[in-house]
Amino acid sequence: MTQAKLRFQSFEEYLAFDDGTENFYELFNGELIAMPPESGFNVEIANFLFSILLSIVGHRRVRGHGLELEVRGEPKNRYPDLTVIREEHIQQLKNRNTIRLEMNPPLLVIEVVSPGELQRDRDYIAKRIQYQDRGIPEYWIVDPQLETVLVLELVNNVYVEIGTFRESDRIPSPIFTELNLTAAQIFAASSLS
């Protein structure tokens, strides 16, 4: 017996769907695309950054991979590796951890690049375009293969590259100026035993 593929006519219809699992899906052309689990290395990097940002913004405003972000284009949603939300989002996300288009964008989104050309293009090109369109003020692309951190700042609705940082370069954050972090610290954190 063949099971028919689910098709969703709207993002609202997708939001009402519950398959009884904890799986994450991107909605692409009306169909669900299951998101594979993150690599352990990427999770370690995201957890390290989580702990650093936690001390700056507090536990209620830093969100891990489970935060869903509605975007324009295809797919209709993304799950950033790490997100710093606004104070107003805390209450708005009580029932569902989804930032909708009608809500203000988060302050910072961080993606940790997974191996492979498709994943690289997704983080460096597709997500960059969608996050820029969404008006997210700051976007970091953390690349474990190159051991670099690209920091982008939204200026006049366009992402401007602040720079690509490596080794002992201090990573400047336009929003979180008190951040004192180097690229080497990020990549060393995941190799500590």
Domain holding 117: CATH number?
3.90.1570.10
The confidence score (pLDDT) of residue 190 equals 62
- Of residues 153 and 19, the one with the higher pLDDT is 153
Mean pLDDT for 76-82 is 97
Q: Show the domain range for 118.
A: 38-189
Whether 14 is in a domain gets the answer no
Is 51 inside a domain boundary? yes
The total of structural domains in the chain comes to 1
Pairing of strands 108-112, 138-143: parallel
Name the residue among 123, 115, 122 with its Cα closest to residue 140. 123
Is residue 78 within 8 A of residue 71, CB to CB? The reply is: yes
Task: Please check the confidence at residue 2 and state whether its pLDDT lies above 60.
Answer: no
106 near 69, Cβ under 8 Å? yes
Question: What pLDDT was estimated at residue 122?
Answer: 93
Residue 48 lies in a domain: yes
CA 8 – CA 177 distance, rounded (Å): 42
CB 84 within 8 A of CB 137: no
pTM: 0.92
The pLDDT assigned to 90 comes to 97
Domain presence at residue 125:
yes
Residue 9 counted as domain residue = no
Residue 153 φ/ψ, nearest 5 degrees: -120, 135
13 falls within a domain = no
Average pLDDT, the chain: 93
Identify whether 21 is part of a domain: no
Checking if the pLDDT of 49 tops 70, the result is yes
User: Cα(183)–Cα(60) distance, rounded to whole angstroms?
Assistant: 25
Count CA atoms closer than 13 A to 34's CA, side-chain side: 8
- pLDDT of 3 over the 70 cut: no
Return the pLDDT at 35: 86
Quote the tokens at residue 84: 């710093």
